[in-house]
Amino acid sequence: MRTTTDIGGWAEEIAAEYLINNDWQIVERNWRWKKLGEIDIIATDADTIVFVEVRHRTSTAYGTPEASIGPAKVGKLRRTATMYLTVGNLHKHPCRFDVIAVDLVGGEVVLRHYRNAI
């Protein structure tokens, strides 16, 4: 039986493959800054740095994956992304936050990509 961590990794792999197939460059996966937080995928879409939050669900009992992103998570993502830009001296580059929702219900994979979601 797969753990939630295993399924989350699988969903992130699906999301990364989707981005690569759409001509994006993956720069980082699971980038962490100390205890501040983690960004699932950092990629470039043309000249834009994109911080991608991947959410998944294996059941519809608790709603959609994208609905699970609350204000606390948004704040953590913003702070972590700010550290990424600071550490890399990348503040002059355009950036945005996207969400990729992966439904893994009933053995079928359904992916939804939301640009500028956060």
DSSP string, 27-95: EEEEEEETTTEEEEEEEEETTEEEEEEEEEES-STT--SGGG--HHHHHHHHHHHHHHHHHTT-TTS-E
The single-letter code of the amino acid at 12 is E
Categorize the per-residue pLDDT at 52 as very low, low, confident or very high, splitting at 50, 70 and 90. very high
Average confidence (pLDDT) over 43-66: 90
Query: What was the pLDDT predicted at 8?
Result: 72
Average confidence (pLDDT) over 33-53: 94
Mean pLDDT estimate for the chain: 90
pTM: 0.90
Domain interval for residue 42: 4-114
Average confidence (pLDDT) over 13-22: 95
Query: Token pair 């991608």 is at which residue?
Result: 52
CATH number at residue 107: 3.40.1350.10
Residue (of 114, 91, 84, 90) closest to 102 by Cα position: 114
Query: What was the pLDDT predicted at 107?
Result: 75
